[in-house]
């Protein structure tokens, strides 16, 4: 039985809200979702417009500073980020401590957390210069670290970043280049990955962002906070969904098996889910999914993979589900992860790196949210209460000496 006295605190009556379905944990001016309309805004700008007119560096500037950059501001921003792309040389020894077959996300969680052991000059969260420096390092280091975690997992040498390349092109070169053959940059493919980055850059108080804020609310340093966010993102219900969606599509195997598969998902006895479908907030089409579907067409076209069987299966799943009352009545539509796995796989990115790509893209959102929280005068340590349902007070029985 619940002790009714525990329902009242100094702050007022407690609300019991598992999963924070009806709780706003903060005020924020960064991104906005209207789940009913299927709308996502970054600093007021619709994601559809940003995805067409801006690149990821514009988006990062916007999220961090509140406005889109002027050409001069953008040149300076790009330059600063490029300056910090190289990680401390000592970090490669840290990588070498891991097994080669470790999941790259396990490595990434540790490596990003370890940045706080490398950069003592950006740990004072009360100093705006330290905060700026940490933000810049995190944003600039993520592509290098994700590429290093991939290269390490396949036993290839690390590729150093280059200052003259755009952020996303640089990342692709560090992923796919080798010392004996440089990576040939294809603008269509760079633009596709850049769009994935834009679409994943921020998404208000999702689980990983809330984790970053909660970790940061104790005064923890930003590297530790982002590492906590990455750990949360790795879960299959959050950032791991695109990997799960792609393996689901692969396991279905052919278009004619889609109907049977969708039927099996609906059976409560199977406790299965259609991966890449549904969203806690969007109860209409996820606007990012529409953009990702378009990118999927562009990439497959560019690579001559128009008849890609995985994409055909995906389209069939979408068709069957959107005509099925089970999905329609529960407002379960494809989310961005449904298509992003197919795009990434066409780009040559292995599925165990998908969540790393998501973490790379979301880092700017996490940093913007962390900075906003730190400078909010109402900010205090995040400390939810609970409804205690355990034993009432009792005495320890005599123990054997
Ligand atoms: N497939 C089949 N049924 C589903 C699905 C799905 N993907 N998602 C929800 N449902 C059903 C539930 O079984 C439940 O049915 P019931 O009312 O008969 O019990 C109903 O829809 C409501 O489900 P909830 O779990 O309450 O929805 P919630 O908002 O908590 O979950 C979530 C959202 C976690 C995203 C869920 O839809 C899901 O697991 N989807 C698959 C994983 C996925 O794609 N995650 C990516 C999220 S987006 C992102 O992180 C970028």
**d(CA 72, ligand 1 centre) in Å:** 44
Q: Which atom of ligand 1 is nearest to the CA of 278?
A: 37
Catalytic residues: 279, 337
**d(CA 324, ligand 1 centre) in Å:** 15
For a pLDDT cut of 70, what percent of the chain falls above it?
99
User: What are the C-alpha distances in Å from 298 to residues 51, 78, 140, 169, 174?
Assistant: 14, 26, 28, 17, 23
Over residues 122-131, the mean pLDDT reads 93
β-bridge pairing 8-9 and 31-34: unpaired
Contact 313, 255 (CB under 8 A): yes
Atom 20 of ligand 1: nearest residue by CA position: 330
Most confident listed range (122-131, 202-211, 372-381): 202-211
Provide, for the chain, the percentages of residues in helix, strand and coil under a 3-state DSSP scheme, each rounded to the nearest 5: 55, 5, 40
282: its two tokens = 């969007």
Contact 222, 139 (CB under 8 A): no
Average pLDDT across the chain, whole number: 93
**d(CA 332, ligand 1 centre) in Å:** 7
Over residues 372-377, the mean pLDDT reads 93
Name the strand (E) or helix (H) holding 46. strand 45-46
What's the pLDDT score for residue 236?
82
Alpha-carbon gap, residue 207 to 118, rounded angstroms: 27
Using left for φ > 0, alpha for ψ between -120 and 50, and beta otherwise, residue 166 falls in beta
What's the pLDDT score for residue 280?
85
Atom 16 of ligand 1: nearest residue by CA position: 330
> Residue 27 pLDDT more than 70?
yes
218-263 tens-digit pLDDT: 999 999 999 999 999 998 888 888 888 999 999 999 999 999 999 9
Task: At 386, give phi and psi (nearest 5°).
Answer: -145, 165
Contact 68, 61 (CB under 8 A): yes
Nearest to 199 by CA among 295, 300, 109, 267: 295
> Residue 3 pLDDT more than 70?
no
Alpha-carbon gap, residue 303 to 299, rounded angstroms: 6
Over residues 148-159, the mean pLDDT reads 97
Reported ipTM: the value is 0.94
Tell me which of 274 and 3 has the higher pLDDT: 274
Mutate to test the pocket of ligand 1, among 264, 275, 276, 278 (most ligand atoms within 8 A of CB): 278
Q: Which atom of ligand 1 is nearest to the CA of 337?
A: 51
Q: What is the DSSP string of 64-109?
A: HHSSPPPHHHHHHHHHHHHHT-SPPTTHHHHHHTS-TTS-HHHHHH
What's the pLDDT score for residue 59?
98
> Residue 7 pLDDT more than 90?
no
> Residue 87 pLDDT more than 80?
yes
Q: Which residues contact ligand 1 via a Cβ below 6 A?
A: 237-239, 241, 265, 273-280, 330, 332, 335-337
Contact 215, 55 (CB under 8 A): no
How confident is residue 303, by pLDDT bands cut at 50, 70 and 90?
very high
**d(CA 373, ligand 1 centre) in Å:** 29
236-246 tens-digit pLDDT: 888 888 888 99
> Residue 6 pLDDT more than 70?
no
> Residue 383 pLDDT more than 60?
yes
20: its two tokens = 């924070």
To the nearest 10 degrees (0 to 180), the angle between helices 167-176 and 187-199 is: 110
Helix (H, G, I), strand (E, B) or coil at 399: coil
Return the biggest CA–CA distance within the chain: 77
Contact 310, 250 (CB under 8 A): yes
> Residue 4 pLDDT more than 80?
no
Atom 44 of ligand 1: nearest residue by CA position: 276
Q: Which atom of ligand 1 is nearest to the CA of 203?
A: 51
What's the pLDDT score for residue 1?
57
Q: What is the DSSP string of 94-158?
A: HHHTS-TTS-HHHHHHHHHHHHHHH-GGG--TT-HHHHHHHHHHHHHHHHHHHHHHHHHHHTPPP
Alpha-carbon gap, residue 122 to 109, rounded angstroms: 19
Atom 41 of ligand 1: nearest residue by CA position: 275
**d(CA 277, ligand 1 centre) in Å:** 7
β-bridge pairing 45-46 and 12-13: unpaired
What's the pLDDT score for residue 308?
85
How confident is residue 307, by pLDDT bands cut at 50, 70 and 90?
confident
Contact 197, 186 (CB under 8 A): no
How confident is residue 194, by pLDDT bands cut at 50, 70 and 90?
very high
316-374 tens-digit pLDDT: 999 999 999 999 999 999 989 888 988 999 999 999 999 999 999 999 999 999 999 99
pTM for this prediction: 0.91
Atom 13 of ligand 1: nearest residue by CA position: 273
């Amino acid at each position: 039985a619940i002790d009714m006295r525990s329902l009242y605190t100094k702050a007022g009556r407690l609300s019991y809200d598992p999963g924070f379905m009806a709780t706003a944990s903060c005020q924020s001016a960064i991104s906005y979702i209207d789940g009913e309309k299927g709308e996502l805004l970054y600093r007021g700008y619709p994601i559809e417009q940003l995805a067409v007119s801006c690149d990821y560096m514009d988006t990062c500037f916007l999220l961090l500073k509140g406005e889109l950059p002027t050409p001069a501001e953008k040149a300076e921003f790009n330059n600063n980020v490029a300056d910090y792309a190289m990680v401390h040389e000592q970090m490669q020894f840290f990588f070498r401590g891991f097994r080669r077959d470790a999941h790259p996300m396990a490595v990434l969680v540790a490596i990003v957390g370890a940045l706080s052991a490398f950069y003592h000059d950006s740990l004072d969260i009360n100093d705006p210069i330290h905060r700026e420096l940490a933000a810049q390092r995190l944003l600039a280091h993520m592509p290098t670290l994700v590429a290093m975690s991939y290269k390490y997992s396949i036993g290839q040498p690390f590729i150093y970043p280059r200052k003259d390349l755009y952020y996303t092109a640089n990342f692709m070169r560090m992923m796919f280049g080798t010392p004996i053959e440089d990576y040939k940059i294809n603008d269509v493919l760079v633009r596709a990955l850049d769009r994935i980055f834009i679409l994943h850059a921020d998404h208000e108080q999702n689980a990983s962002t809330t984790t970053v804020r909660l970790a940061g609310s104790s005064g923890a340093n930003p590297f530790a906070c982002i590492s906590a966010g990455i750990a949360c993102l790795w879960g299959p219900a959050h950032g791991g969904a695109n990997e799960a969606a792609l393996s689901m599509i692969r396991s279905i195997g052919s278009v004619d098996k889609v109907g049977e598969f969708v039927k099996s998902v609906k059976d409560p006895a199977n406790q299965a889910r259609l991966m890449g479908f549904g969203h806690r907030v969007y109860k209409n089409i996820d606007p990012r999914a529409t953009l990702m579907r378009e990118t999927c067409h562009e990439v497959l076209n560019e690579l001559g993979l128009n008849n890609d069987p995985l994409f055909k299966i995906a389209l069939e799943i979408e068709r069957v589900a959107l005509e099925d009352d089970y999905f329609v009545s529960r407002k379960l539509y494809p989310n961005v992860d449904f298509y992003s796995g197919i795009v990434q796989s066409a780009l040559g990115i292995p599925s165990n790196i998908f969540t790393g790509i998501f973490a790379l893209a979301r880092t700017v959102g996490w940093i913007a949210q962390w900075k906003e929280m730190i400078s909010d005068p109402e900010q205090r340590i995040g400390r939810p209460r609970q409804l205690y349902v355990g034993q009432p007070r009792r005495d320890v029985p005599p123990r054997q000496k």
